[in-house]
Each structure stands twice: as C-alpha cells, then as structure tokens.
Amino acid sequence: MKIGNILKKEDTIYISSAKNKTELLHKLVDKIIESHQADNFTDELKEQFLAGVLDREQKSSTGLGDGIAFPHGRINGLNKPIIALGIIPNGINFAAHDGKLVKLVFLFLFPGNRHELGVKLQAVFARFLMQNNCFEKLLALNDGKAVHQLIIDADLAVDTPITAQDLMCNVTMKLNDNMILQDATALMDEFNSEVAAVVDKENNLIGELDCIHLFQLELPDYIKKLHSVPPIHDFNPFSGYFADDALMRVSSVLNTDIGRVQLNASLFEIIFLLSVKKYSIVHVCDGEKLVGKIDRITVLNKVFNL
C-alpha cells in the first residue's frame, strides 16, 4: 500500500491560524470532504469522521512531541484509509507531552475493522519524519504538489508488520545496579511502577527489579508451591525485610528472567511474552542497549483501542 496513493496533493492544507486544536481538526476534516468529493461520502459518514477524531482526542492528546501530532479515528463504513496533512508554520497548542507547539498535523482515518492499519500508518510517518530532516523539509514546502512529490520520492509504503519499535514507549525511570534497594524502591514508588529496568553504566539492560520477585525472595520454597493461602497466623517471613534487605544493592536482588526483545520483534512475539509468559513489561533493546518498554496497556491502547 503506497502512501503516495493515500496522501494526495489535494489533502494538504496550510493553516495560518486556528483558535485551538478542535478548530484545526474541523478544518482538516473539511479538507478531506473537499478533496474526496468523488467518494460521495454520506452526511452520516462525514459526521463520523469528526466525531471519531474528537472522541479519540478526548481520551488523550495525540501530540507526539517535537512539533508533530497524529490525530486519528476508526470509522465504521469507511472502506479505505484517508490521510490529510495540516501545516501550521506558527504552531498550535496540541497538549503534547513535551509542551511544544505542533506544526505538522497528520490526520488518519481508517476502516473500523482494520485495527492494525492505524498503527502501521502512524509508524511509517513517524519513521519518515525522523529521517533526513523530513520534518524541516515539509515545513519549508509551500504547496500540496511539492508535499505529495516528497512523499512519493520517499517511497513510503505500509508493507511491514507491526514491530516493537512501533509500539514502545520511552523509559522514564531506570535503576542502576549499584543502587541501594531502599533508594530503588523509593524511586519506583515515586513513578508508581511495580517493575523497573536495571541497567549498567553503558545503559545495557542487565535485569529488572519487580515487586513480585522481591516478595518471593522472602518466602520459603514450600510456600511458593502452594496454590492457596495457608491458614498460618503466627508466621511472618517479612519481619526483617526492611531492616536487612533494604540496605542491599540492587545487583544482589535483580531479576534476570525478563521479557526482552529487539527493535524488530513482531507483535506476536510481544503479546506472547506479555500473555503466555506473563511478563509485566517487555524491555526493548537495540543490541544490549535499553531503548524502550512495552506493557499490556500500551499494546491495548495502540493496537486495540485506536
């Protein structure tokens, strides 16, 4: 599926001003209706376009950061993907996580029964915008024909499976293997995280610290084999837990049985690790370097709840 056949020269709009992102999204949907008159969209479907995009935006902003936003909507009754591009040289507040004004807004509409298509389309454009100053090149263009030619020259296509690189989130909190356990758990509490990656000085992933593993370290082996809570009221294996273990180094209690994948790992492999192997987090690496993480909510949000 060639992107140049989806995003045509008529689908680009230059927006000198907009009061807010809702007004901007209205203008982009209007542009889609204008440039796709041959499709004879019904009034009901037109309303679904805007409602689908606005409903998705209310869940959380699709501002990716670095001046880019990918608003999108799954539309029942739509039989093909549609992409529109809004170029806003002065920028607009899109509630992006980095607080930066958004200058490039790619609006994606795709059929409601194509769960995976939205992820693939966004992944293609995310990679494109990170390469060869393409963000700056698009901002410098002044007509839709030139934008369309840039897309064609880049030979963008949706012909690859969803990979870990498409799904991963940034790692906001990492632990050093030399940290004292008490400090490490305090940091995990600050970030409300039950699992934290542990890296060495070169950012190589060496394991993880997770609450379940720490709890099990204190339990006798015979209790670990039980399938229900034993009727014991005078036994407390955690009596010296914080007094003794809290001062140990992370390196002595880290868990090395972890979910780890490379950037090109498939969606199937990721879901297998999260569901069958029951890892809470899948760590994404480039070689040995930790570059991202994927949890169950991330997969649900990016794949099933687009």
**Digitized pLDDT (tens) for each residue of the chain, 306 residues in all:** 788 888 888 988 888 778 888 999 999 998 998 888 888 887 888 888 999 999 999 888 898 888 999 999 888 878 788 999 999 988 999 988 888 999 999 999 988 877 677 888 888 888 888 887 899 999 888 788 999 999 898 888 886 567 887 788 878 899 999 999 889 999 999 999 999 999 999 999 999 999 888 877 766 666 666 667 777 666 666 555 555 666 788 998 899 999 999 988 988 999 999 999 999 999 999 999 999 999 998 888 666 544
Q: How many CB atoms lie within 10 A of CB 32?
A: 21
Give the total residue count for the chain: 306
Residue whose C-alpha is closest to residue 135's, from 98, 171, 106: 106
* Predicted TM-score (pTM) of this structure: 0.61
Strand partners, 283: 260, 293
Give the Cα separation of 129 and 148 in Å (integer).
Answer: 14
- The residue ranges of every structural domain in the chain are 3-158, 174-304
Q: Which residue has the tokens 């394991």?
A: 207
The CATH number given to 3-158 is 3.40.930.10
The CATH number given to 174-304 is 3.10.580.10
Give the Cα separation of 246 and 176 in Å (integer).
Answer: 15
Vertex 67 angle, CA 135 and 21, to 5°: 125
Contacts of 125 (CB under 8 A, 6+ apart): 3, 70, 106, 156
Give the Cα separation of 80 and 140 in Å (integer).
Answer: 30
